Amino acid sequence: MGEDMFWAIRGGGGGSFGAVLAWKTNSVPVPANVTVFRVHRMVKSSKDDDKMTIQARFSSMFLGGTDKLLQLMEEKFPQLGLTKEDCLEMSWAESDPYFEQFPIGAPLETLLGRNHKSALSKSFFKAKSDFVKQPIPEKQIHGYGICSLRRENE
């Protein structure tokens, strides 16, 4: 191994090249059944202007049963108004076709096909997800909603 390669592996090369030799992941146990839900909520502006509407879609998976999820949601996020009818319990594997917008109960084999046609595959879609660790202040949400609505209507 030459001197340049030695410094490159150590991360001290001119281009700050580094090689990953190992990494560590932490996994969590997945219960036999998970709870999934998709809800769509719309909030109209309190003003007389009907053009001001905020839409939010919540698509989520909870590693546990419906009763525990509803208890947590009532405590942490009662504004969503999640009900037992919104929730479905299924295995973790069955949740994948569910999130791909296949009909509920679709066989897992549908995921093996490279050319499967789900509602999501017919449209271009990009998503990001994150965990919210602290509630977002209502003033901040309101300000963001108004800004995005103005951009949309301009």
Above 50 in pLDDT, residue 2?
yes
- Count Cβ atoms within 10 A of the Cβ of residue 134 and give its class: 0-12 exposed, 13-18 middle, 19 or more buried: exposed
Confidence class of residue 86 from pLDDT cuts 50, 70 and 90? very high
CB count, 10 Å around CB of 97?
21
pLDDT higher than 80, residue 84: yes
End-to-end Cα separation, the chain, in angstroms: 60
Residue 152 scores a pLDDT above 60: no
| pLDDT of residue 12 exceeding 60 | no
56 belongs to a structural domain: yes
CA 101 to chain centre: 14
The answer as to whether 152 is a domain residue is no
pLDDT of 101-148, one tens digit each? 888 888 888 878 766 665 555 555 566 666 667 877 777 766 665 444
Residue 10 pLDDT level (bands cut at 50, 70, 90): low
State which residues form the domain around 123: 34-128
Tokens coding 65:
């049963």
Kindly report the pTM of this predicted structure. Answer: 0.59
Residue 94 lies in a domain: yes
> Is the model's pLDDT at 149 over the cut of 50?
no
Contacts of residue 60, Cβ cutoff 8 Å, sequence gap at least 6: 36, 37, 38
**pLDDT (mean) for 60-89:** 94
Position 21 in a domain: no
φ/ψ of 70, rounded to 5, equals -60, -40
State the Cα–Cα distance between residues 150 and 52, nearest whole angstrom.
9
CA distance 135 to 81: 16
Measured distance CA(51)–CA(112) in Å, rounded: 43
User: How many domains in the chain?
Assistant: 1
pLDDT digits (tens, 9 = 90+) for 13-62: 455 555 666 777 888 888 999 999 999 887 776 665 556 666 788 889 99
Give the per-residue pLDDT at 154.
40
Query: What is the reported pLDDT for 136?
Result: 74
